[in-house]
Amino acid sequence: MPAADAAPASTTAGLSDAELKAFYEQRRQALRAGAEAGAGAALGLPLALNIANVSVSEARVRLLQPNGAAPQVIGIPSLQANDINLEGRPAELSASVEIAGEQALAITLQTRFTVSADQSKATVEALNVTITGATPEPVELLASGTIGINTQRAELALELASGEITGQGTLAYSSFESPQIDAELRLNLLDPALLLLAGPDAAATVSTDTDGEDTALPLDAIRLADTRADLRVERAVFGPHTINNLRLRLRALEGVLK
C-alpha cells in the first residue's frame, strides 16, 4: 500500500502576523459552522448494518515509503469482531497489532460498545488497551464513556498503569468546540527515568538525537493545538529532586502556550 505523499515540513512557518490572524479567524469560523451544521451527514453511516462475525489472522500490511525508504510493516496476528450492528445491541472487537521498526510496538485491544438505534450516540462500555515496547513496562489503559456521533464529541473516563505509575482521569474531544482536547489526569508518581527505555538501543538513540544540530520546532502542531490539560501528581521525581503534590496546568490555543 503506497504511503500518502509527505506533507510540507511546515505550512504556517512563513506567515506574517496579519496572515496568522486571518488563519486563526478562518479556523474559528470553520468551528462555528461545523457546530451549527452538525456532523451526522458527513459521517455517512449506513441505515442498517449487521455483521455476525469477522475473523482475521496472521495478516500483514506494508506501507510503501517515499524516496526508496524501507516499507513500514504492520502485523495483525489476530482480529475478531462479533455482532457489529446499529440497533443498540452490544458489539465486541478484539485485536492484536505489531508495528515493526527501530522501536517495535505490540498493541492489544479489547472493547465492548453499542450504537444507539437512532445512530446519534455510541457507548463504549469497556476499552482495554495494552502497549508493549514504548516504555520499559507495558502501558495498560482502560477507558469507558460516550461518543456523540452527530456532534463528534467524545467523553471518556480513563485509568492507566505502567509499572509503579498509576493514574485516573477524564478526556473529552470535540471536533467543533474549544478546547478540542480537554484532559484531567491524576498520577501517583511521575518519574521520567521509569518511562525511558534502557539498554544499548536507547543509548544509540540518545547519541544520534544530540549530535549538536538544531531541531526545528513543530510550528504547525503548536499553532493547530487547541488543548486544555490539568495534571496533578502526588510525587514527581526529577533525578535527585522530589516534588510532592505537583500541579501543572496547560492551555494551548492559536500558537500560544500558557
Render 204-241 in DSSP notation, one character per residue.
HHHHHHTSS------HHHHHH-EEEEEEEEEEEEETTE
Give the residue carrying C-alpha cell 443498540.
88
pLDDT of residue 221: 62
Specify the pTM: 0.72
**Spatial distance between the Cα atoms of 152 and 175, rounded to a whole number of angstroms:** 6
Q: In angstroms, rounded to a whole number, what is the distance separating the alpha carbons of residues 115 and 93?
A: 13
Determine the pLDDT at residue 189: 94
Beta bridge partners of 250: 229
What is the pLDDT at residue 40?
A: 46
Element (DSSP H or E) covering residue 203: helix 200-209
pLDDT at 182 (0 to 100): 92
- Quote the pLDDT of residue 112: 97
- At residue 215, the pLDDT reads 55
3-class secondary structure, 67: helix
pLDDT, position 71:
87
Q: Buried b vs exposed e over 123-140: b needs ≥16 C-beta within 10 Å?
A: ebeebbeebebbeeeebb
Per DSSP, the three-state class of 89 is coil
Task: Give the pLDDT of residue 36.
Answer: 59
Query: What does the alpha-carbon distance between residue 160 and residue 168 come to, in Å, rounded to a whole number?
Result: 6
Q: What is the pLDDT of residue 250?
A: 86
Residue type, 56: V
pLDDT below 70 — which residues of the chain? 1-15, 17, 19-21, 23-24, 28, 30-47, 197-224, 255-258
